[in-house]
Amino acid sequence: MSFWLFLMFMVQPLQGVYMQDDGTCIESRNTVTTVDQCPQNLSSWIEREKIKNCASIAHNCSRALVYHCVINPWQNETIEVCAPPTKINAKHCAEYNTKGGRIQDFSHPTCTSCKNQYESTDAYEYGECYDAVNKNNYNKITETYSIDQESKSRSAVMNSAYSQGKRFDVIILLMFISLVSVLCDV
């Protein structure tokens, strides 16, 4: 009898987890588009919203799909997506989680202008969230350039050392063969 009571108390809280409407919408995954930049004001947002036309998309989600332009979880791209709106906590940027199929808080509280909780559809008001993506892309480009330059420098040094070291390699090889032949004779 106590086992069944224990099981009932364990299962009861889990039922709410699966029934909860957390904004997940798998169909929203099909609407993801990477964009160079997100709208920075309401008029641009409305213009992009009309073009994306989220209201015309058939879905089985519990809430309507609406236009969003947010960062991805790695903060290296801005994406347009049709997804159910949600509340974003203060100090957080809005992101789209492709795996979860939902808009959510970015994992780190990096938004200094996000003083209060806000609607995910108001993300355009917090341009610093998009600035981080632009900064990451700039860093990625300069990092790639630095790595390429470093690779070219290393390659030049290695080629020089290789051409000078050819004779040295042959001497080492001859010494090794001589040592093996001496040891085999013993």
Cα(101)–Cα(84) distance, integer angstroms: 10
Q: Are strands 33-35 and 78-83 parallel, antiparallel or unpaired?
A: antiparallel
- The whole-number pLDDT of residue 18 equals 35
What is the arrangement of strands in the sheet containing 94-97, beginning at the earlier edge strand?
Answer: 33-35, 78-83, 66-71, 94-97, 102-105
Of the pLDDT bands very low, low, confident and very high (cuts 50, 70, 90), residue 162 is very low
- The whole-number pLDDT of residue 181 equals 74
pTM for this model (two decimals): 0.62
- The whole-number pLDDT of residue 149 equals 45
Q: 1 or 34, which is more confident?
A: 34
Q: How far is CA 133 from CA 60, 93, 126, 162, in A?
A: 32, 11, 13, 42
Percent of the chain with pLDDT over 70: 68
Cα(65)–Cα(156) distance, integer angstroms: 55
Q: Output the six-digit token pair for 106.
A: 């970015």
- The mean pLDDT of 63-86, rounded to a whole number, is 95
Q: 85 or 14, which is more confident?
A: 85
- The whole-number pLDDT of residue 180 equals 76
- The whole-number pLDDT of residue 24 equals 86
Of the pLDDT bands very low, low, confident and very high (cuts 50, 70, 90), residue 22 is low
Q: Output the six-digit token pair for 181.
A: 């032949």
Q: Provide the b/e sequence for 137-170 (b: ≥16 CB within 10 Å).
A: eeeeeeeeeeeeeeeeeeeeeeeeeeeeeeeeee
| pLDDT tens-place string over residues 110-161 | 899 999 999 999 999 999 999 878 665 544 443 444 444 444 444 443 444 4
Q: 36-44 long-range contacts, Cβ below 8 Å, gap at least 24?
A: 36/78, 37/78, 37/130, 37/134, 38/69, 38/70, 38/78, 38/80, 38/123, 38/124, 38/130, 39/69, 39/124, 40/124, 40/127, 40/130, 41/124, 42/124, 44/124
What single-letter amino acid sits at 43?
A: S
- The whole-number pLDDT of residue 151 equals 45
What single-letter amino acid sits at 52?
A: K
